[in-house]
Amino acid sequence: MGGKNDGACANPKQIKTDVDCRAARPKFDNGAWSPAKISDVTGGWLYLFVTPDVSRPGNAASKLWRMDYRFHGRQKTYSIGPYGNGRDGTFSLADARRERDKAKDLLKEGKDPSIEKQLDKHKQAAARPFAQWADEWLAKKKVEKVKRGRIVAVRDPKTVEVLELRVGYVKARFGKLCRQDIKRPDVLAFMRSYEAEGRLETRDRVRSIGEQICDYADVEGDGYNPFRNLNGQMIANISTPRPGVTEPRDVTRVFKLISAPWTRARFGDVVGLALRFNALTIPRPGMVNEMEWGEVDWDAKRWTVPAPKMKTGWDHVVPLSRQALAILRSVQKLTGHRRYAFSCSKDAPLSNNTLNKRLRLLGIDTKTDHCAHGFRTTFSTLSHHEEIKDAKAWDGDVVELQLAHLDNSTVEGLYKKHGPLALIGSRTKLMQHWADRIDHWLDPKKVMPIKGGAQA
């Protein structure tokens, strides 16, 4: 055996009782541990397959009941399951012998026990109610967030809360039914109940969740999914671009409104500061709502939005202009002891509608005139079209990178090659120039510096 070993010596030659099963160990041969195959004393090709634990030499990593057999002239192995006390999917010695006997009966009937086991699993899966699949799918979605084929993080609590709510809508209607019993007309009727209330966005999201759950439940691979391909029979949900001002007069009007003191402000007007910071840094508004102090690098003058919060699934670096830093210093006096920078009465992110609500209170129509997301439209349009001495002021890739628009293959290539700091020098100049432009709109007397090297 290449050396005396207590674990190897203790191995039973055959399995007679559960005591032998518990004592079974991997075998030690030629100075190394390897799997042991210990036959059952009652025969019938049943054996316990014991694999070694590489982290603990001499111990078993797993003990699996197996049975070798021949079917149509081919040698095959039937996997019964792990050894245990008979609970939680494990098999005791008595259980394994019963399973072996069942397999032998199937062979006498000309059936392959391995295939029959798979068919039985499929039947059990098909009989599971939709609610069970929905709960299992939701449990998986709670712990992973996938972007561009990568699991980037655990989902944040707010996203999970919304997901649970929408899964609940589908379960309430179809939870007791099996996937195959959910019929297309019933799903359409369910979708039209949302249409009758004018909730087209909710309808589309609920339908998408139902489709994903049915795909998850399709272990047989039959492709049946009553939630799929319903667009032709539903009211079209024509999405309209989120409004953002782009004309000089309108831009000046909006920036003057958000910069004016708010007489009804509470707690130092954190909301107003968040709105101005959003306009200066042009992220998606949700990123400002959930901004944490730990994301700010004061020395580098940068704010890094971590991948889990990003639509792209990658970290996003925002260079902070002098004006943006000044706002953060003001906010730090109010919330510096908290986790979230822009938090009001408690240490929690601003709600999704907070910034738009402030715009409406300022008299701005967020559906037709300008919304919090619209600052990105303003920035994009004006930066792409700005000219200095009859030439484009900014390379389009610089603008798109700062907006975290990675749909363009060139921009995505830059990001993949250089990471979050791609073209950071030009982006830093761009963001300072943008802040200076805002100052100029607020006070035309202020000279707006145009520094060399604006073109990337």
Q: What is the mean pLDDT of the chain?
A: 88
pLDDT at 454: 44
pLDDT (tens digit per residue) in 278-292: 999 999 999 999 999
Residue for token pair 């102090």: 293
Q: Is residue 89 scored above 80 in pLDDT?
A: yes
Neighbour count for residue 12 (Cβ, 10 Å): 19
**Domain boundaries along the sequence of the chain:** 16-123, 128-215, 246-440
The answer to whether the CB of 270 falls within 8 A of the CB of 330 is no
Torsion of CA 269, 272, 278, 281, to 10 degrees: -70
How far apart are alpha carbons 406 and 148 in whole angstroms?
Answer: 11
Architecture of domain 16-123: 2-Layer Sandwich (3.30)
Q: 453: Cβ–Cβ under 8 A, 6 or more apart, which residues?
A: 426, 429
* Helices and strands counted in the chain (H then E): 17, 13
Cα within 13 Å of Cα(363), Cβ side:
8
The answer to whether the CB of 159 falls within 8 A of the CB of 289 is no
**Burial bucket for residue 47 (CB in 10 Å: 0-12, 13-18, 19+):** buried
How far apart are alpha carbons 391 and 395 in whole angstroms?
Answer: 10
Residue, of 454 and 92, whose pLDDT is higher = 92
Architecture of domain 128-215: Orthogonal Bundle (1.10)
Give 456's pLDDT tier (boundaries 50, 70, 90).
very low
Cite the beta strand spans of 115-194 per DSSP E.
Answer: 145-147, 150-153
**Burial bucket for residue 172 (CB in 10 Å: 0-12, 13-18, 19+):** exposed
Q: What is the mean pLDDT of residues 53-63?
A: 81
Torsion of CA 10, 16, 21, 24, to 10 degrees: 30
pTM for this predicted structure: 0.60
Residue among 282, 290, 328 at smallest CA distance from 309: 290
pLDDT at 412: 78
How far apart are alpha carbons 287 and 84 in whole angstroms?
Answer: 49
CATH of 246-440, one of 1.10.1040.10, 1.10.443.10, 3.40.1410.10, 3.40.140.10: 1.10.443.10
Residue, of 389 and 380, whose pLDDT is higher = 380
